[in-house]
Structure 1
Amino acid sequence: MTVVTVGIIGIMTVLMAVQLKSLKGEYGLYLVLAAACVIFFYGTLRLKGILEGLQKIQNMIRINPVYLNTLLKMTGITYIAEFSSGICKDAGYGALGTQIEIFGKLSILAVSLPVILALLDTLQGLLA
């Protein structure tokens, strides 16, 4: 599925949801949630290509797999947090969406902390 197809699905869903809003508001929300889930799962299908690309990069430069795994985790956390937050905000629960964003940012910090510590340890070794 291309970006154009996903864009068309999104626009058509919003147009249908606007039409349904006058009849029953919750049906429009359900329609948008269904389309968001379909787009999310099509997005996860792209992960195979990303993982293969990361594997090639790892083989070419012989980088520690921990760093690439951390990068992949950070990307996944960001994607899921933004997706969940957007759904909450669209449903009218902006405060909950903001809390999800904050939790996502804290999770990224927690996942990246070992890499930051390794970087600081390397810098300390170079300066000593």
Structure 2
Amino acid sequence: MEIIQIVGLGLLTTVLVLIIKEQKPMFAFLLITFTGITIFLFLLGKISSVIQVLEDLAIKANINMIFLKTILKIIGIAYIAEFGAQIVRDAGQESVAAKIELAGKVLIMVMAIPIVSVIIETVMKLLPA
């Protein structure tokens, strides 16, 4: 069970960080960052499997792949922005974390414009003239 490994790594990291934080705060931060990246890399295979299933479903449902890829990019931006903001927040830089989150939200909005446009066009076609 992968979750036990992830939680175990998280608990071990927490204990180590609590031990070395007083003496070497930079090493504690690096340990936290390394652990976060390790967990993220561990999950990449799982994420890849989910994306493959979604692509297969989109093909079966005859959905334009551009829309699916855009939605997956939006989800990716959200996860990466959150991950980056959390690491920066762990370093005590709340204002920088807020800027990362803002940038993620703006990029998501920009990526969503084509999908929103198609939805509006579809609704306009359904309305009587």
TM over 0.5: yes
How much identity, in percent, do the aligned residues show?
28
Q: CA deviation at 1:90?
A: 0.4
Q: CA RMSD in A?
A: 1.2
Query: CA separation in 1, counterparts of 2:52 and 2:114?
Result: 24
TM-score when normalising by structure 2? 0.93
Aligned to 1:100: 100
Query: CA separation in 2, counterparts of 1:37 and 1:69?
Result: 24
Aligned to 2:85: 85
Query: CA separation in 2, counterparts of 1:92 and 1:6?
Result: 24
Query: CA separation in 1, counterparts of 2:105 and 2:4?
Result: 29
Aligned length: 128
**What code does the residue aligned with 2:11 have?**
I
Query: CA separation in 1, counterparts of 2:3 and 2:70?
Result: 27
Q: Unaligned stretches of 5+ in structure 1? A: none
For residues 9-24 of structure 1, the aligned pairs below 5 Å read 9-24=9-24
Q: CA deviation at 1:94?
A: 0.7
Q: Which consecutive segments of 4 or more residues in structure 1 shift more than 2 A?
A: none
Query: CA separation in 2, counterparts of 1:45 and 1:79?
Result: 15
Q: Unaligned stretches of 5+ in structure 2? A: none
**What code does the residue aligned with 2:53 have?**
G
Secondary structure (helix, strand or coil) at the match of 1:39 reads: helix
Q: CA deviation at 1:45?
A: 2.1
Instruction: After superposing the two structures, state which structure 1 stretch, 9-18 or 96-105, moved more.
Output: 9-18
TM-score when normalising by structure 1? 0.94
